[in-house]
Amino acid sequence: MKSTEEVFEILKGRFGDAISELVTGQPAESYFSVSPKEINKICFYLRDTEELLFDNLMNLSGVDDDNGEKKTAEDGSFTTFGGTLSVFYHLESTSLKHKVTIRVSVPRETPELESVAEVWRCADWHEREAYDLIGFNFLNHPDLRRILMPYDWEAGHPLRKDYKNPEFYQGMKVPY
Amino acid sequence: MGLLDKQLNDGNIVITKVEDLLNWARLSSVWQVGFGLACCAIEMMATSASHYDFDRFGVIPRPSPRQSDVIIISGTVTLKMALRVKRLYEQMPDPKYVISMGSCSNCGGPYWEHGYHVLKGVDRVIPVDVYVPGCPPRPEALLEGLLKLQEKIRNESIVKKSA
């Protein structure tokens, strides 16, 4: 059993600057941040190292951090510039019975990070969902298509804070 | 009604209007498309099962829209599904009927404001004959909806075009 702090120290010793910002003492679980370009390497290490053995990706979810600069239009809608979007990874080791939470933040304008679908196969659909609803670009993903919204949905990614729903889709009126 | 309330006094001859006979045959065997969308579909299946027994009104789920007379839109119609619902409806032979079951398919239901993915009422893509309110409607409510549909069919005319 390793605590988040211990996992953080192990990774810090091995990967250095790619690991940062350990957040503890919150009501929710502790987490630390990982660089978007190295998340797949680090996940391989987390899965295969003897003392960690994180064999289960319990969940992968996307968050719009809503920390950019907002420009409000006349109709009350707003567009966000700058700030970050984040992906959270919840890992578990079924043999060693420990868990860890990892955060990867990417800039809103270029939300690119490495895919972990090669590390845990279940990440494939989770990443497709995060791409569909928030709009992350998972590099080296085997099949990065929309999974929930229609394939020809052109209005963007609905769970972004500055998302605007279209008037029409395929000739059907969308608003109430 | 014509057929049933006439006394069979003249041996085995029954006198009725062709229109009444056709309507009676039609309303007594409204076969539905075996198709469900969301939680309303669970109530619809309960209505089909032995306790409420849809079959006593002549409603049998058919595995193909080409053999069906009525499509019960039982649940949330997403924009992605709306195109498929429309295609199913178009594949049904005339005369065909639509029962919109539950708030979602009536008007978008709880998704009316923030449901970026939900069609706000199935009547935006196909014409609806009977709306059944509820979230989800109880089997009794769906049965009432079916009786309303039967009433509508009973008053149809082969001369006048139906709505």
In chain A, the domains with their CATH numbers are 4-173 (3.30.460.80)
Tokens found for residue B134: 């509820």
Question: pLDDT category, A68, cuts 50, 70, 90?
Answer: confident
Residue B13 burial (CB < 10 Å; 0-12/13-18/19+)?
exposed
pLDDT in tens, B15-60: 888 899 999 999 999 999 999 999 999 999 999 999 999 999 999 9
Q: How many C-beta neighbours within 10 Å does residue A149 have?
A: 20
Q: How far is A169 from chain B (nearest CA, A)?
A: 8
Percent of chain A whose pLDDT exceeds 90: 69
State the pLDDT at residue B8: 57
Choose among B117, B120, B125: nearest Cβ to A176: B120
pLDDT in tens, B80-127: 999 999 999 999 998 899 999 999 999 999 999 989 999 999 999 999
Q: How far is B105 from chain A (nearest CA, A)?
A: 13
Could you tell me if B117 lies within 8 Å of chain A, comparing CB atoms? yes
Instruction: Provide CB contacts within 8 A for A107, sequence distance 6+.
Output: A82, A83, A84, A85
Question: pLDDT category, B162, cuts 50, 70, 90?
Answer: low
Angle formed by the axes of helices B139-154 and B39-48, nearest 10°: 70
Please report how many Cα atoms fall inside a 13 Å half-sphere around the Cα of residue A106, on the Cβ side. 22
Using DSSP, state whether A78 is helix, strand or coil.
strand
Question: pLDDT category, A17, cuts 50, 70, 90?
Answer: confident
Residue A163 burial (CB < 10 Å; 0-12/13-18/19+)?
middle
Residue in chain B closest to A166 (alpha carbons) equals B116
Distance CA B23, CA B6 (A): 16
Could you tell me if B84 lies within 8 Å of chain A, comparing CB atoms? no
Could you tell me if B119 lies within 8 Å of chain A, comparing CB atoms? yes
ipTM of the complex: 0.79
Dihedral sign from CA coordinates of B3, B8, B12, B15: negative
Could you tell me if B79 lies within 8 Å of chain A, comparing CB atoms? yes
Could you tell me if B82 lies within 8 Å of chain A, comparing CB atoms? yes
Choose among B80, B112, B113: nearest Cβ to A150: B80
